[in-house]
Amino acid sequence: MFESLSERLQDALGELRGRGKLSAPDIDKAMREIRLALLEADVNFKVVREFVAHVKERALGQEVMESLTPAQQVIKIVNEELTELMGAGDSKLAFSGRPPTVILMAGLQGSGKTTACAKLATFLKKDGKRPVLVAADVYRPAAIDQLVTLGERAGVPVYAPGADVDPVDIAKQGVEFAREKGDVAIIDTAGRLHIDEELMHELVRMRKEVKPHNILLVVDAMTGQDAVNAAEQFKQSVDIDGVVLTKLDGDARGGAALSVRAVTGKPIKFASTGEKLGDLDYFHPDRMASRILGMGDVLSLIERAQETIDEKQAAQMEERLRKAEFTFEDFLVQMKQVRKLGSLSSIVGMLPGVPGMKQLKNAQVDDRQLDRIEAMVLSMTPEERRHPEVIDGSRRQRIARGSGHTVQDVNALLKQFREMQKMVKQLAGGKMPKFGPGMPPGMPPL
């Protein structure tokens, strides 16, 4: 989502890097570029004005103008101000000492609210909680069925008495259901196509009856300033505790993420970055600011790896690599481990100095290429995977037919694999392999 903004900001700050000393005109020029970049990203204009004023005031201070590395100081200031803009510290959920904890989910229709409920249940379940979903959206066709289906996929109970029951009564009964079946009640409320008094009145009644510990507003990040305006109105009427941003994996300009906290004063608590139920996590403003400025998000990548990668398999693989043993079967295991981390674009976005996939276009690495490689490897027999040297001309033709590729594709794969084996032997022998034009395209370093 932030790729365009990220490039613009990095270009603006990059022009400062080559200067040993910064002047006021240098700062003014950079601030103009930053202002334009934020406005084009659909950030609220009042937020942009205040942000640029804060950065400029600090950038013209003694700390920068007398620094030996003034450009680095300006980048540090922009990073800190971006973090402050999105919420400074991480904001967690409030949990009741006497279960169940009640979480009321609100939002406009089409914001992804029902799916966000199931994602939140999945997130809390991984954290050791016992969530229950409550279907209190009785107006949208199939909303109840959708929540029941998502609940089954997430493996959590769903309280859904039907569409002919008052939503406030459903919420009250759902909390009692959660008291018996779990320790967290996540209530999916009705959305509308726009803000109306009926929607707000129902949410106010529900809040009085169930006394939720958290009221979360689900906001579609793709709707830009409309999302921010809706958040402000919900805050005034219902007094929300925080925001859940959905569709952060989209290609919108990202203005909502940078504006919603500053406009409403309420923190972004969660961010959804994909379509799978596991694609929800706490929102970390400092990590997001670092990603926007091309500094990466290594902490999130490490956390994701710790959650998904099998430590026993990783230890076994490390032992084999130390012995310079690496086969196509090992490659398949490694590929599955890497793919558990998410798409290549999302992984690359977390690496320092690589804000998006553009830098990898020349290397031609994408998820579809991994699919093609995997198809060819799976078309090999177990013996061929363990001993690639036995693959002769007829075997190559069979592998090509079985995977839907050409013999030339199979030849290229085998050549790339031999290069990778050489690299593994160099690493096992304590030598640093040379990375350059000979690095096999389409095969990420393992």
Q: What is the pLDDT of residue 229?
A: 79
d(CA 24, CA 30): 10
For 426-440, the pLDDT digits (tens) are: 665 555 444 444 333
In this structure, of 182-186, 193-197, 433-437, the range with the lowest mean pLDDT score is 433-437
- For residue 320, give the CATH number of its domain: 1.10.260.30
Q: What is the pLDDT of residue 344?
A: 54
Residues 289 and 314 in one domain: no
Does a cis peptide bond (omega within 30 degrees of 0) precede residue 141? no
Give the containing element (helix H, strand E) for 232: helix 225-238
d(CA 172, CA 182): 15
Residues 247 and 196 in one domain: yes
Residues 63 and 118 in one domain: no
Residues 80 and 105 in one domain: no
Return the amino acid letter for 288.
M
Rg (the chain; Cα; Å): 26
Which one of 59, 86, 113 terminates a domain? 86
Q: Once rounded to an integer, what is the mean pLDDT over residues 411-423?
A: 83
Residues 290 and 311 in one domain: no
436 in any annotated domain: no
94 in any annotated domain: no
**CB of 314 closer than 8 Å to CB of 337:** yes
Which one of 56, 86, 116 terminates a domain? 86
Residues 37 and 19 in one domain: yes
Q: What is the pLDDT of residue 183?
A: 94
Q: Once rounded to an integer, what is the mean pLDDT over residues 68-97?
A: 80
d(CA 120, CA 244): 10
Kindly tell me if the per-residue pLDDT of 343 is higher than 50.
yes
Q: Once rounded to an integer, what is the mean pLDDT over residues 252-275?
A: 79
d(CA 312, CA 38): 46
Residues 120 and 46 in one domain: no
Strand-pair partners of 187 = 104, 134
- For residue 158, give the CATH number of its domain: 3.40.50.300
441 in any annotated domain: no
Q: What is the pLDDT of residue 401?
A: 92
Report yes or no on whether pTM surpasses 0.85.
no
**CB of 179 closer than 8 Å to CB of 100:** yes
Reported confidence tier of residue 444, pLDDT bands at 50, 70, 90:
very low
Token pair in block for residue 34 = 């930053």
Residues 108 and 252 in one domain: yes
Residues 109 and 213 in one domain: yes
- For residue 11, give the CATH number of its domain: 1.20.120.140
327 in any annotated domain: yes
362 in any annotated domain: yes
Reported confidence tier of residue 296, pLDDT bands at 50, 70, 90:
very low
**DSSP at 243:** E
How many domains does the chain fold into?
Answer: 3
Q: Once rounded to an integer, what is the mean pLDDT over residues 341-353?
A: 56
Task: List the alpha helices (DSSP H) in 104-224.
Answer: 113-126, 143-154, 167-181, 197-210
Residues 222 and 368 in one domain: no
Residues 152 and 62 in one domain: no
Kindly tell me if the per-residue pLDDT of 364 is higher than 60.
no
Q: What is the pLDDT of residue 278?
A: 86
Q: Once rounded to an integer, what is the mean pLDDT over residues 268-287?
A: 85
Its domain, for residue 76, covers 3-86
Reported confidence tier of residue 326, pLDDT bands at 50, 70, 90:
confident
Calculate the CA 314 to chain-centre distance.
24
Kindly tell me if the per-residue pLDDT of 382 is higher than 80.
yes
Q: Once rounded to an integer, what is the mean pLDDT over residues 341-355?
A: 54
Reported confidence tier of residue 104, pLDDT bands at 50, 70, 90:
very high
Per-residue burial over 115-154, b if 16 or more Cβ lie within 10 Å, else e, is bbbbbbbbbbbeeebbbbbbbbbbebeebbebbeebbeeb
Kindly tell me if the per-residue pLDDT of 253 is higher than 70.
no
443 in any annotated domain: no
For 17-43, the pLDDT digits (tens) are: 766 677 888 888 888 888 888 888 888
Which one of 245, 271, 295 terminates a domain? 295
Residues 149 and 269 in one domain: yes
122 in any annotated domain: yes
434 in any annotated domain: no
